[in-house]
Structure 1
């Protein structure tokens, strides 16, 4: 009698459990689809995972879970401006034949947005590259115009806001390089005249050991000459000139000017405002801790001659012409 009674109870429990499981599955599926409609793909994926727990191996729940995850990844990648990864996830959704129609529409729309932003960003970066190339060619006027176009694009597109610091840096470089251009190019003689009258305010320094010479402003103090006689230092409270020479091809008998140039570039941690290299000299100019640093190096197969000038960046108008005159009248060491 007991066995006959327990059997119906067991069947009843199984029916209740099955019914509850079915209700839980459908509830999770409905909520998941609802979240897809709200574009909350992360929460949608959570609901489809719950549905799979209720009905392990269910094809619909598995398919919707995969779609939700890919859409969530696509949105996240797009927000991080990882356009390639976003497009890859979207293409996976669109290639799935069981993708819900509403989800496919959203995927296509997002793909259009990603492609548009990707093209805009690519064009923006190409223009920035052009600005840098123009700066390298010393065409600061055109570089500035291109930079102004970039600023306008940035103002009208929030997705480009991450580029603002780099644009600010380029603007600063152009401003500094424009000021230094006259100094860095001895052939420009707007402020430099080789006249006796101008030399009246300068004093001639000639290095006895290496034979280089230069005119420096009268009134500058001079450090005691080093015992090896390789150069001299002249200075006041703001302005400083250091000139010296040394033998080349001592350690390596195949030295080139490019080797010295690359070594200098590696040692400079600040942004370089102006740089130029020729067969026998190069110039580097940059700002460090509020001071302009201008360095010129002359190279031949026996002697390398260097002069370095530093002064406050705020005093460019005062010391720029002086630096220009020194650069124009500097005579490097000949082979000795």
Structure 2
């Protein structure tokens, strides 16, 4: 009986450790943008753009994640960014939530029928670092649980 109990304990430990995969941390070498996400969800890494500004991953259920950076050549501010996006007349683009702080901005809403969430960090080094998540409304409950952790992981390297 002792042998069976030990075997079951080992099986339980293996099941517990494999059910929760370690998150993947991406570091963009060009802009020092860092974000962490579950790579068991975002499994399809897209080719990196020639300019090396970031990376995109796709999921099997139609979601996408972009982690990138750009030079803040226009000295944009969080409040200025939010105001410009809210004033956008782009068809299929609707902001339903926005907030800006001293060095960050957050937007969410709908773009071309998908839910989006964007967080930007405005660095003192002249770089704007961004994480962008987009997903179909049908999988909203799944991704709504992931958004805060992924967006909160955005930082400068």
TM-score, normalised to structure 1, is 0.37
* CA 204–277 in structure 1, closer or farther in 2 if over 3 Å, else same: same
Separation (CA, whole Å) in 2 of partners of 1:315 and 1:288: 15
- 1:287 and 1:313 in contact (8 A); partners too: no
- 2:34 and 2:67 in contact (8 A); partners too: no
- Alignment match of 1:230 (pick from 53, 69, 76): 53
Separation (CA, whole Å) in 2 of partners of 1:197 and 1:215: 19
Alignment of 1:15-164 (within 5 A): none
The yes-or-no answer on 1:324 pairing with 2:148 is yes
Bigger strand share: 2
Separation (CA, whole Å) in 1 of partners of 2:119 and 2:19: 22
**Larger Rg computed on CA atoms:** 1
Separation (CA, whole Å) in 1 of partners of 2:153 and 2:86: 25
- Alignment match of 1:279 (pick from 80, 97, 102): 102
Q: CA deviation at 1:201?
A: 4.2
Q: CA deviation at 1:203?
A: 1.4
The yes-or-no answer on 1:259 pairing with 2:80 is yes
Q: CA deviation at 1:292?
A: 0.7
Q: Residues 309-329 of structure 1: CA distance to partner in whole angstroms, max 9, x if unpaired?
A: 000112111111122221122
**DSSP-derived class of the 1:327 partner:** helix
The yes-or-no answer on 1:211 pairing with 2:35 is no
**DSSP-derived class of the 2:120 partner:** strand
- 2:99 and 2:106 in contact (8 A); partners too: yes
TM-score, normalised to structure 2, is 0.74
How many residues align structurally?
135
Q: Residues 41-78 of structure 1: CA distance to partner in whole angstroms, max 9, x if unpaired?
A: xxxxxxxxxxxxxxxxxxxxxxxxxxxxxxxxxxxxxx
Q: Residues 94-144 of structure 1: CA distance to partner in whole angstroms, max 9, x if unpaired?
A: xxxxxxxxxxxxxxxxxxxxxxxxxxxxxxxxxxxxxxxxxxxxxxxxxxx
Root mean square deviation of aligned Cα: 2.5
Q: CA deviation at 1:282?
A: 0.9
Separation (CA, whole Å) in 1 of partners of 2:44 and 2:147: 17
Q: Which has the higher contact order (CA 8 A, sep 6+)?
A: 2
Bigger helix share: 1
Separation (CA, whole Å) in 2 of partners of 1:204 and 1:230: 16
* CA 316–262 in structure 1, closer or farther in 2 if over 3 Å, else same: same
Corresponding position of 2:114: 291
